């Protein structure tokens, strides 16, 4: 025996082992992240503010579009320095967002402590050198640390008395000024009043719909409903198996995780592209200028992406208990899937599918606008053809259809729950 | 999962009410009507096309045809209801069983079907009495609500009449839908190479005009780059969300049952506001945009904003109102009891309760509005979609690819942002 | 112990995250037909121990011999064959809520069923009859076709027992089977376990919270504290001092009647 008392831990430094080294690095990275997060937020916030302010200034004063007005490196230097000043001498927006504040060991930070922190952050924080030690060098030398904000028993300071509050207000103000300026041009607002008569024709026609087109419009409605039904059905066939690949709790390990990431990423991209844009792409693909087929393909792709997300989120929330129990009976993997997972997800899956069907009915009218067939196509043709009374009839039909399906899907889903 | 639910045979002596009888009957009739529609469609498609008179894709029938269809579907409904458990009966949860004990054999079931026709003229009598129909009474059968039997397994769904009918309906839907929608896999495959070219072009995006205005794309004297229009698009969504929420917020209280009370004025206000929400919500943003484009000019950003705002008001108003209706009644009573007015109740008891979910819904709506604003230009609503559709019409796919990528990035970023903020609120 | 049925040898389990040592060098053996009760505070490693025996949790170090085979070395396929002879019941019952009682009970036969039949849900008639018989045995024949989310806690645990009975187990692992139940129901559930132990000769290893239940039903008790064995002996050998050692100085014994 070595003579160490029982339970004595070997004196070897922790970082000489792989795990110890990993932990030491992780601790420093964690510490660096604690400083970096508010700093990056401040830099991003200040930069965004500058860009928005410039944009507004350029829009109103110069009558042009401009984002920077200064070279990009000047802006970068300015916001970095601004962020450091703000964080050292006040309570910055970024610090407030992450819920931390500069705290001194001896009560309130003094001006000289803040000044030291300001200088030291340049040397050690920005360069990253300081984070080699725990706690970081600038923290040790300045006596200030970025600590979790302490709950105060004093009445909260009103937002207009804090720099972060004022910054947020100014930010929102500039944003709204820019947004309103860009979107509400004077001519268009004038047209809103001068051309009201033109739209009055439309509204008047809406209350005197043309019922003679009822039969043809009805047939297009049937096409629309079938588009939604088939797109949903075909989407389910693809989305159900994919959802298992997109569930974080089922896809573990070196093979599972990349598959999970890939499927989730692809679905996320597909979902970000509106069905209308998909319809345009598919219209070019299947060549027919006007075809419900292109519409259904567009709905199909978008539905798959949406359903996979909904399904996978449900899968991630399943109860692990039955899985454990069925595994314990000696059942194989497929049996566990069939008896522990599937019963838990059948009803939610059907419910999501009905919900998506409901959405697809709306979307089917919309993809019709680009030539995806169905009732939407008829509507846009009427509107652009100045056949407002017919358009009014179609709109009434759409409202009724959407209502009916909405009601039906809600009722069925309530029954499933 | 395996042995399904409990067995479904009627176990009570209470007969099904008129509503369930009538409802299930109508449902069955509609099911067979749908089948008739499908069959006629298929006949039109496969058979009538060979006739000299071209009836393809229409639903034209000879003059005697419609009565035949109506009667045939009615007969099918009656017989499926008598001979087994029909889809309609299953949907409302009733089943046909013997009046007394024993089994309801085929003989009595057939008898019931025949008696249905015989006693049809007398239907108003038993309906008026609200009692048992004559065909049931005379055939010794009764339609009763189903109470599951915990000791006996149910029959497998696929082996029952309604199970088979459901599967057949599904297949019919697929077949008819396939034809109606015009699904054509051959075209899809044949033209895959051309589509492949498009995809390749889009994946080699042309970002030359990301910050510099594209001279080809000159929109109403304003020279826009992709970035400029992206900013405009996001601003459109922002303005519409803020305006929409600002209008929907006060309106939502008028659309809430518990705030409006049950007096005549309150009821009318409630009905009008809710009706407005429902109608305006059912019309998609993009259709609104096509209407406003007529009004304020095609391709105007304002048209897009108005469309987004109108839909936002209706959608948010409904969500807000439902939240207001779902508040805990305790605090309301407390303010009432303290002698508060209706406005004070809303201010001090309702708003504090609903504000977090209002924020969450607004952020969610902001997310939707960003998505919608990217495509609203299609019908003249302005924004980045202008560029997308312009380049697409030019067949300039690398530029389309660039725009689509920017759209994906923006939608993604806003989705993430709104999701994170909502998490913080919740 | 002349013929140990289960031998646990230097079992150690370290959870990856947070470096938690759940079990430390645990060794004991169990004879066939014993009713072994594992006691200890929450977090003392009882659940981990039970799950290591049928390898729902992979042990970090150490061996477990069950009837002469080292289960820690078995391939997944062989492990499944061993598992089907090990019944298990759980604190939270772990039933499939949306399924009927008999549907849950039948899953106990999955280890014996060929994969394709299991997928289609074609259980042999004999299995169905056995399921009904087992439900009869736990007094739930009249609830066979009721969804389990409509049953009470005690009834659900009895469904869990029937599921374990379907496996014709040689060994039953019971992970805090009565913690979620009230005292009266607890005794009825424990009596079913006792019955299995006495009549069918099933070796039972149950973890329990209450010492009074352990004394009443166990033929032998082991106690865990921080993943280590602190007591091993007959129920009568636990006196007040031992009790304080296991449960800590502040603990007070509670009687479950």
Round to whole Å and give the CA distance between B112 and B119. Answer: 10
Q: Note whether A129 and A136 are within 8 A (CB).
A: no
Task: Tell me the percentage of chain B whose pLDDT exceeds 70.
Answer: 92
| CA-based nearest residue in chain C for residue B147 | C146
Round to whole Å and give the CA distance between B387 and B374. Answer: 10
B276 shares its domain with B369: yes
Give the confidence band of C129 by pLDDT, cuts at 50, 70, 90. Answer: very high
Low-confidence residues in chain A, pLDDT < 70 = 1-15, 153, 288-290
* pLDDT of C257: 56
Q: Which residues of B touch A286 (CB under 8 A)?
A: 184, 187-188, 191
**Tell me: the pLDDT tens digits for B257-311?**
887 777 888 889 999 999 999 999 988 899 999 888 888 888 888 999 999 999 9
Residue with tokens 């019941």: C89
B110 shares its domain with B222: no
Round to whole Å and give the CA distance between A303 and A294. Answer: 14
B176 shares its domain with B240: no
Count Cβ atoms below 10 Å from residue C170 Cβ, excluding itself. 18
Q: Note whether C105 and C155 are within 8 A (CB).
A: no
B195 domain residue, yes or no? no
| CA-based nearest residue in chain B for residue A365 | B284
Question: Any CB–CB contact under 8 A between B372 and chain A?
Answer: yes
B188 domain residue, yes or no? no
B289 shares its domain with B141: no
User: Strand C203-207 to strand C35-39: parallel, antiparallel, or no bridges (unpaired)?
Assistant: parallel
CATH of domain A204-416: 1.10.3720.10
Q: Which residues of A touch B379 (CB under 8 A)?
A: 369, 380
Contact map slice: A 327-346 vs C, CB within 8 A: 327-332, 334-335, 338-340, 343-344, 346
Residue B368, H or E segment? helix B351-375
- List, in order, residues 6 or more apart from A341 with CB less than 8 Å away: A315, A318, A322, A323
Round to whole Å and give the CA distance between C99 and C192. Answer: 23
Residue with tokens 């200034």: A57
All CATH 1.10.3720.10 domain ranges in chain A, comma separated: 204-416
Q: Which residues of B touch C142 (CB under 8 A)?
A: 150-151
Residue A43, both tokens: 């830099």
Task: Inform me whether the pLDDT recorded for B51 exceeds 60.
Answer: no
Which residues partner with A26 through β-bridges? none
Task: Inform me whether the pLDDT recorded for B56 exceeds 50.
Answer: no
Tell which wins on pLDDT, B217 or B171.
B171
B350 shares its domain with B241: yes
Could you tell me the maximum CA-CA distance found in chain A, to the nearest angstrom?
Answer: 103
Round to whole Å and give the CA distance between B130 and B133. Answer: 9
Among A357, A223, A187, A238, CA closest to A295: A223
Q: Which residues of C touch A330 (CB under 8 A)?
A: 80-86, 110-111, 167
B259 shares its domain with B168: no
Write the burial class of residue A190 (CB in 10 Å: 0-12 exposed, 13-18 middle, 19+ buried). Answer: exposed
Round to whole Å and give the CA distance between A214 and B424. Answer: 50
* pLDDT of A231: 95
Task: Inform me whether the pLDDT recorded for B2 exceeds 50.
Answer: no
B124 shares its domain with B248: no
Q: Note whether B89 and B162 are within 8 A (CB).
A: yes
B171 shares its domain with B282: no
Chains near A (3 or more Cβ pairs under 8 Å): B, C
Nearest to C80 among A330, A343, A347 (CB): A330
* pLDDT of B359: 92
Domain count, chain B: 2
Q: How far is CA A242 from CA A34, A238, A259, C67, in A?
A: 37, 6, 10, 42
CATH number for B296:
1.10.3720.10
B203 domain residue, yes or no? no
Chain-chain contact of C100 with B152 (C-beta, under 8 angstroms):
no
B174 shares its domain with B236: no
Chain-chain contact of B4 with C128 (C-beta, under 8 angstroms):
no
Domain boundary among B133, B160, B180: B180
Chain-chain contact of B232 with A342 (C-beta, under 8 angstroms):
no
Q: Which residues of B touch A285 (CB under 8 A)?
A: 188, 191-192, 194-195, 198
| CA-based nearest residue in chain C for residue B7 | C145
B289 shares its domain with B173: no
B45 shares its domain with B99: yes
Q: Which residues of B touch A362 (CB under 8 A)?
A: 284
Task: Inform me whether the pLDDT recorded for B7 exceeds 60.
Answer: no
Q: Which of A75-84, B1-10, C120-129, C167-176 has the lowest mean pLDDT?
A: B1-10
Among B261, B275, B267, B262, CA closest to B314: B275
> Reading across the β-sheet that carries C171-175, which strands appear in turn?
C86-89, C171-175, C203-207, C35-39, C220-225, C228-233
* pLDDT of B55: 46
B353 shares its domain with B297: yes
Round to whole Å and give the CA distance between C66 and A124. Answer: 60
Residue with tokens 């299991």: C118
* pLDDT of C88: 94
Domain boundary among B156, B180, B204: B180
Domains and CATH numbers, chain C: 1-83+205-257 (3.40.50.300)
DSSP SS3 for C128: helix
Task: Tell me the percentage of chain C whose pLDDT exceeds 90.
Answer: 42
Chain-chain contact of B238 with A399 (C-beta, under 8 angstroms):
no
B186 domain residue, yes or no? no
Mean pLDDT to the nearest integer, B321-336: 86
Task: Inform me whether the pLDDT recorded for B347 exceeds 90.
Answer: no
B97 domain residue, yes or no? yes
Task: Inform me whether the pLDDT recorded for C3 exceeds 70.
Answer: no
Q: Note whether A132 and A123 are within 8 A (CB).
A: no
Q: How far is B170 from chain C (nearest CA, A)?
A: 21
- List, in order, residues 6 or more apart from A208 with CB less than 8 Å away: A389, A392
**Tell me: the pLDDT tens digits for C178-236?**
888 888 889 999 999 999 999 999 999 999 888 888 888 999 999 988 888 888 989 88
Chains near C (3 or more Cβ pairs under 8 Å): A, B
**Tell me: the pLDDT tens digits for A305-350?**
999 999 999 999 999 999 999 999 988 888 999 999 999 999 999 9
* pLDDT of A266: 94
Contact map slice: B 41-80 vs A, CB within 8 A: 59
Among B356, B357, B338, B358, CA closest to B348: B338
- Domain extent at residue B381: 218-425
**Tell me: the pLDDT tens digits for C40-64?**
888 888 899 999 998 998 888 889 9
| CA-based nearest residue in chain C for residue A327 | C56
**What are the E-state strand segments in C101-202?**
171-175
């Amino acid at each position: 025996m070595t003579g160490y008392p029982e339970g004595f831990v070997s004196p070897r430094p922790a970082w000489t082992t792989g795990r110890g080294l990993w932990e030491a690095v992780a601790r420093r990275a964690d510490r660096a992240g604690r400083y970096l997060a508010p700093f990056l937020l401040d830099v991003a916030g200040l930069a965004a503010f500058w860009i928005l302010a410039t944009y507004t200034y350029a829009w109103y004063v110069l009558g042009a579009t401009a984002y920077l007005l200064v070279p990009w490196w000047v802006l970068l230097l300015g916001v970095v320095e601004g962020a450091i000043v703000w964080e050292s001498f006040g309570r910055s927006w970024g610090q407030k967002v992450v819920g931390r504040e500069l705290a001194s060991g001896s009560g309130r930070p003094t001006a000289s402590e803040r000044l030291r922190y300001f200088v030291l952050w340049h040397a050690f924080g920005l360069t990253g050198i300081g984070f080699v030690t725990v706690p970081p060098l600038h923290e040790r030398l300045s006596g200030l640390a970025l600590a979790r904000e302490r709950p105060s028993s004093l009445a909260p300071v009103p937002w207009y008395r804090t720099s972060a509050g004022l910054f947020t207000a100014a930010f929102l103000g500039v944003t709204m000024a820019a947004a309103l300026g860009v979107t509400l041009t004077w001519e268009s607002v004038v047209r809103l009043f001068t051309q009201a008569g033109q739209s009055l024709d439309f509204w008047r026609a809406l209350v005197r719909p043309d019922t003679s087109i009822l039969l043809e419009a009805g047939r297009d409605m049937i096409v629309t409903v079938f588009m939604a039904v088939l797109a949903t059905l075909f989407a389910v066939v693809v989305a159900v198996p994919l959802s298992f690949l997109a569930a974080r709790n089922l896809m573990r390990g070196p093979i599972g995780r990349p598959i999970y990431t890939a499927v989730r990423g692809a679905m996320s991209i597909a979902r970000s592209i509106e069905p209308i844009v998909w319809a345009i792409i598919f219209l070019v693909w299947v060549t027919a200028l006007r075809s419900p087929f292109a519409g259904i393909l567009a709905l199909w792709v978008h539905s798959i992406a949406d359903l996979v997300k909904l399904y996978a989120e449900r899968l991630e929330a399943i109860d692990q208990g039955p899985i454990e129990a069925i595994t314990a009976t000696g059942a194989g993997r497929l049996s566990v899937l069939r008896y522990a997972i599937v019963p838990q997800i059948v009803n939610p899956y059907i419910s999501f599918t009905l919900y998506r069907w409901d959405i697809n009915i709306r979307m089917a009218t919309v993809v019709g606008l680009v030539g995806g067939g169905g009732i939407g196509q008829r509507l846009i043709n009427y509107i652009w053809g100045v056949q407002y009374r017919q358009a009014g009839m179609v709109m009434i039909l759409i409202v009724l259809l959407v209502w009916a399906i909405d009601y039906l899907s809600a009722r069925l889903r309530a029954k499933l729950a | 999962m395996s042995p399904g639910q409990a067995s479904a045979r009627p176990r009570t002596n209470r007969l099904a009410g008129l509503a369930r009888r009538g409802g299930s009957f109508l449902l069955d009739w509609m099911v067979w009507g749908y089948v008739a529609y499908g069959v006629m469609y298929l006949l039109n498609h496969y058979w009538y096309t060979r006739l000299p008179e071209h009836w393809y894709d229409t639903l034209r029938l000879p003059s005697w045809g419609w009565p035949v269809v109506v009667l045939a579907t009615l007969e099918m409904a009656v017989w499926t209801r008598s001979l087994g458990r029909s889809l309609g009966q299953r949907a409302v949860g009733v089943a046909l069983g013997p009046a007394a004990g024993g089994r309801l054999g085929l003989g009595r079931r057939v008898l019931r079907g025949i008696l249905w026709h015989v006693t049809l003229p007398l239907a108003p009598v038993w309906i008026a009495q609200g009692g048992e129909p004559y065909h049931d009474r005379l055939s010794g059968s009764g339609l009763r609500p189903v109470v599951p039997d915990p000791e006996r397994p149910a029959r497998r769904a696929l082996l029952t009449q309604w199970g088979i009918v459901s599967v057949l309906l599904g297949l019919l839907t697929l077949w008819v839908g396939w034809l109606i929608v015009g699904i054509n896999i051959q075209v899809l495959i044949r033209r895959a190479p051309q589509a492949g070219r498009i995809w390749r072009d889009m994946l080699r995006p042309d970002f030359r005009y990301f910050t510099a205005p594209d001279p080809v794309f000159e929109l109403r004297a304003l020279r826009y780059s992709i970035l400029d229009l992206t900013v405009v698009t996001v601003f459109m969504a922002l303005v519409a969300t803020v305006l929409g929420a600002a209008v929907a917020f006060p309106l939502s209280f008028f659309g809430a049952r518990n705030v409006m009370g049950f007096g005549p004025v309150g009821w009318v206000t409630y009905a009008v506001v809710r009706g407005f929400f429902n109608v305006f919500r059912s019309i998609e943003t993009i259709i609104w945009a096509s209407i406003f484009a007529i009004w304020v000019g095609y391709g105007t950003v304002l048209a897009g904003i108005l469309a987004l705002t109108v839909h936002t008001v209706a959608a948010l108003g409904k969500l807000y109102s439902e939240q207001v209706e779902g508040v805990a009644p305790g605090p309301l009573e407390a303010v009432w009891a303290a002698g508060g007015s209706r406005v004070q109740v809303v201010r001090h008891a309702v708003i504090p309760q609903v504000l977090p979910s209002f924020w969450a819904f607004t952020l969610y709506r902001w997310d939707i509005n960003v998505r919608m604003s990217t495509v609203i230009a299609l019908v003249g609503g302005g924004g980045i979609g202008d560029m997308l559709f312009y380049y697409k019409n030019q067949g300039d796919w690398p530029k389309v690819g660039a725009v689509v990528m920017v759209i994906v990035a923006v939608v993604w970023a806003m989705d993430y942002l709104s999701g994170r903020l909502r998490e913080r609120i919740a | 112990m002349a013929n140990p049925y289960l031998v646990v040898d230097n079992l150690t389990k370290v959870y990856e995250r947070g470096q938690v040592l759940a079990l430390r060098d645990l060794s004991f053996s169990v004879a066939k037909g014993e009713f072994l009760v594992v006691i200890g505070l929450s977090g003392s490693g009882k659940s981990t121990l039970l799950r290591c025996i049928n390898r729902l949790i992979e042990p970090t170090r150490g061996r477990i011999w069950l009837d002469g085979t080292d289960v820690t070395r078995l391939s997944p396929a062989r492990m499944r064959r061993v598992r089907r002879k090990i019944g298990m019941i759980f604190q939270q019952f772990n039933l499939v809520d949306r399924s009927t009682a008999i549907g849950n009970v039948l899953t106990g036969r999955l280890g014996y069923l060929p994969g394709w039949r299991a997928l289609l849900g074609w259980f042999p008639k004999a299995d169905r009859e056995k399921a009904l018989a087992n439900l009869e045995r736990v007094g739930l024949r009249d609830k066979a076709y009721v969804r389990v989310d409509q049953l009470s806690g005690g009834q659900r645990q009895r469904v869990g027992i029937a599921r374990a009975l379907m496996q014709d187990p040689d060994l039953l692992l019971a992970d805090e089977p009565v913690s979620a139940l009230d005292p009266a129901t607890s005794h009825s559930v424990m009596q079913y376990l006792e019955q299995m132990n006495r009549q069918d000769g099933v070796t039972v290893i149950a973890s329990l919270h209450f010492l009074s239940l352990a004394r009443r039903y166990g033929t032998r008790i082991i106690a865990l504290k921080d993943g280590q064995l602190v007591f091993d002996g007959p129920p009568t050998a636990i006196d007040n001092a031992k009790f304080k050692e296991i449960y800590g100085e502040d603990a007070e014994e509670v009687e479950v009647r």
